[in-house]
Amino acid sequence: MLKYKLIERGNPRDPAAAKKVYASPVLSGKKGLKAISVDIVEKSSLTRGDVNNTLDNLVDQIPKYLLDGNSVSLGDLGTLRMSFSSERVDSATDFNASMIKNIKIIFTLGKDLKKKLADASFEKASI
């Protein structure tokens, strides 16, 4: 069950506009690779060392694949790909690589994860 809180926000494009109320997720904590590996060990026949090694290697490999220009499919979890923007110039001869900015990774949900999230239920947090 996802918990939410209500917050009041103004419109940054129109500071004079009335503020409106929005739902915002309430996070209950953070799961790191160590906690994830412990949970995986409990569901499998792998040792914690095996799982840690696999997750560590995955974390090492993903940036290499992305920087080589590949998208990275993580199965039912989803796909990672690189994105960036650049300054605009009048002609290709005026462009150089230093004009590339805002490098980021885009994550696209896999079908199964998207369905699970679509089926999520919500509860207002008592804060």
pLDDT digits (tens, 9 = 90+) for 45-91: 999 999 999 999 999 999 999 999 999 999 999 999 999 999 999 99
Q: Is 28 within the bounds of a domain?
A: no
- Is 104 within the bounds of a domain? yes
Asked, for residue 109, whether it belongs to a domain, the answer is yes
Residue at 102 is within a domain: yes
Whole-model pTM above 0.85? Answer: no
pLDDT-derived band at 126, boundaries 50, 70, 90: confident
64 falls within a domain: no
Residue 61 within any structural domain of the chain: no
Q: Does the pLDDT of residue 127 top 90, yes or no?
A: no
Which domain range does residue 108 map to? 71-87+96-119
Cβ burial 53-71 (10 Å sphere, 16+ → b, else e): eeeeeeeeeeeeebeeeee
* Interior angle at CA 5, CA 28 and CA 110, nearest 5: 60
> Would 8 be classed as within a structural domain?
no
Residue 92 has pLDDT above 80, yes or no: yes
Asked if residue 107 belongs to a domain, the reply is yes
